[in-house]
Amino acid sequence: MKITFSNPAQPTKGIAVVFSAERGKWSDSAAKLDTKLKGALKRAAKASRFEGKRGQTMTVLAPTGSNLERVLCVGVGKPGDMTFENMTELGGKVFAALKGAGTAAAVCADAFDKSSLKAADVAAAISYGALLRAYKFEKYKGKEKQSKDPVIGSMAVHCQGAPAAKSRYAKLAKIADGVYFTRDLVSEPPNILYPAEFAKRLKRDLTKLGVKVTIMGEAQMRKLGMGSLLSVGDGSARESQMVVMEYNGLPAAKKKGSQPISFIGKGVCFDTGGISLKPAGGMEDMKWDMGGAGVVSGLMKALAGRKAKCHVIGAVGLVENMPDGNATRPGDIVESMSGQTIEILNTDAEGRLVLCDVLHYVNEKYKPQFMVDLATLTGAIIIALGAERAGLFSNNDKLSERLFDAGEAMNERIWRFPLGKEYDKDLDTDAADMRNIGGGRGAGSITAAQFLQRFVGDTPWAHLDIAGVTWSKKDSAVVPRGGTAFGVRMLDRFVADHYE
């Protein structure tokens, strides 16, 4: 979808999009268009009880004599409540309302009295939201099977301060590139996106943005002592990989010796459960058990794409968890890179076995300011939070608060859970330093986080369990159903607010 920006102008063809605040307070452009249409908008609003509440829409067929096809009227709610983020969501709703139009759309973006947003802000936000919502994944459908809805031909956005709107949107589009990258990775079928292919795509797509991408195979990881990560892929014909991505956008004078921030992702490209085999029903969903690695990859693309002024390490452990004669058995004991030994009682609790070695590696090699890991780690977090929030676990209050605030701002919400010795002791076992699951059914997400905490030392650390929010079966404002890329925009905001 092509989006262009220009100075205010009355739409003359296609579909016009105009806005209204509550209680019939039309924007300047809407009022002018209504005059041109001889009051058609106000009459339609009265008849259909369109009141300008945020998210409310009304479509009006253009009267005879106009070259317009129709007018889409969109409510922004109370002007004092307008924020860039909720206007972004409104942009997604605008796209959804226009989807299938197959013609040009002209959006008249205006400022409203009592709103802190300028017209350029509204224009950039609406455009960004439309772009996020426009994503679709149909590459494996034949042409005759692809969506029959014609896309919007183009979207021209008219506003005061068009150059400023265009400039702001250009940076936002780079974040959207990261979101799209994550959604693509998560949506790929597992026969296509196995560990080596995942690593190849990171090298191909990120290197050209100035990201240093290092790929390690099994031989290198074995030399490092990553017995925990490697045990997960023992049953697969596909070789496990670890990919480390480094981006340093700091000014030249500050690059040398800078302490990076770091993000670590679980990348189980397909999870059968291993010898502890999952039920067949729903196993196809386990293609997105690499969602954490997908988010870290998309975040690196977003940061590098918009030339963020920060030093970032992204690291992902990529494996396939398959059952065969070489697969890890329940009862096996492995040694992690940290030297701690792990008794594996359930091979379907594999994500933590991957993450613990990557966390230790990043901590030891890069001495980061903090580590944030993301993983579709436990079904228990879905029981606790559903599909509305991700779970947050952390050893640092300041880090937790910053992540929480970024999540609230971007509507990618998280909720903090407790950690403590009473949960940690549930991992103790007679046979090794720890076992990979707790002793009962309770607190499964917490004991998983406690396991990871044993590998982070004193470094500030946060774990985001995104099992419930990585894939959606329904559309939302800026997220079409499918891979959500939950976390990319939140973490980009988190970095922008505190580490640039």
* Tens digit of each residue's pLDDT (9 = 90 or more) over 472-494: 999 999 999 999 999 999 999 99
Residue type present at position 55: G
* Of 352, 389, 402, 435, catalytic: 352
Using alpha carbons, list the distances in angstroms from residue 210 to 181, 308, 419. 16, 11, 38
> Mean pLDDT throughout 223-227?
98
**3-class DSSP state of 11:** coil
Rounded to an integer, what distance in angstroms lies between the CA atom of residue 356 and that of residue 384?
24
Instruction: Identify the bridge partners of residue 106 per DSSP, sorted by sequence position.
Output: 16, 156
Q: Is 278 among the residues known to form the active site? A: yes
Phi-psi region of 274 (alpha: psi -120 to 50; beta: other; left: phi over 0): left
User: What is the model's pLDDT at position 179?
Assistant: 98
Residues of the chain with CATH 3.40.630.10: 174-498
The single residue listed with the structure tokens 């605030």 is: 405
Above 70 in pLDDT, residue 150?
no
Q: Which one of the listed residues 36, 118, 238, 278 is annotated catalytic?
A: 278
pLDDT score for 142: 87
Q: For position 100, what pLDDT does the model report?
A: 74
**Stretch 143-148: mean pLDDT:** 71
Other beta carbons within 10 Å of 422: 11
pTM of the predicted protein model: 0.97
Secondary structure percentages of the chain, helix, strand, coil, to 5 = 40, 20, 40
For 2-159, CATH number out of 3.40.1050.10, 3.40.220.10, 3.30.2320.50, 2.60.40.3080 equals 3.40.220.10
Q: Where in the chain are all domains bearing CATH 3.40.220.10?
A: 2-159
In this structure, which topology does domain 174-498 adopt according to CATH?
A: Aminopeptidase (3.40.630)
At residue 157, what are phi and psi to the nearest 5 degrees?
A: -110, 120
Q: Write out pLDDT tens, residues 308-339.
A: 999 999 999 999 999 999 999 999 999 999 99
Contact 482, 187 (CB under 8 A): yes
352 is catalytic: yes
**C-alpha radius of gyration, the chain, whole number:** 25
The strand pairing partners of 368, in sequence order, are none
Burial class (CB in 10 A: 0-12, 13-18, 19+), 345: middle
